[in-house]
Amino acid sequence: MKLPKEKHKAWNRNNFGRVDSLIKAKATEINDIDLREETVGLSEDEIVYREVLMLSSVTCRVKRRYLGDKNPELDGEFKEDQTNLLEVDFAKE
């Protein structure tokens, strides 16, 4: 069954949310954890949680980049402002 474009966009937004908002929220949370690490240190659980956040934010960035390429109205501010917001250092693994 083929949905009209507007209904498809609404369904996608309702089920997955605004990816750019998710990325901003995850970036803020990662920064908060990093600041806490610098001041008081982190427990093992917090270190693992930060790694999970970083990986999920990378997944959101990839999805957002894909959606931006496929949907011109989503393009613009994200690619200019947040493309390099998060970087994962895989050399630590």
| Number of structural domains found in the chain | 1
28 occurs within a structural domain: yes
Asked if residues 6 and 33 have their Cβ atoms less than 8 Å apart, the reply is no
Query: CA-to-CA distance for 78 and 68, rounded, in angstroms?
Result: 9
Neighbours of 61 (CB within 10 A): 22
For the segment 43-74, what is each residue's pLDDT rounded down to a tens digit? 888 888 888 888 777 776 676 676 665 554 44
Average pLDDT over all residues of the chain: 70
57 occurs within a structural domain: yes
80 occurs within a structural domain: yes
List the beta strands (DSSP E) in 1-93.
none
Query: CA-to-CA distance for 6 and 58, rounded, in angstroms?
Result: 27
Q: What's the confidence (pLDDT) of residue 50?
A: 83
1 occurs within a structural domain: no
Check pLDDT > 70 for residue 29.
yes
Residues in the chain: 93
40 occurs within a structural domain: yes
Query: Domain residues for 54?
Result: 17-92
Enter the pTM of the model: 0.48
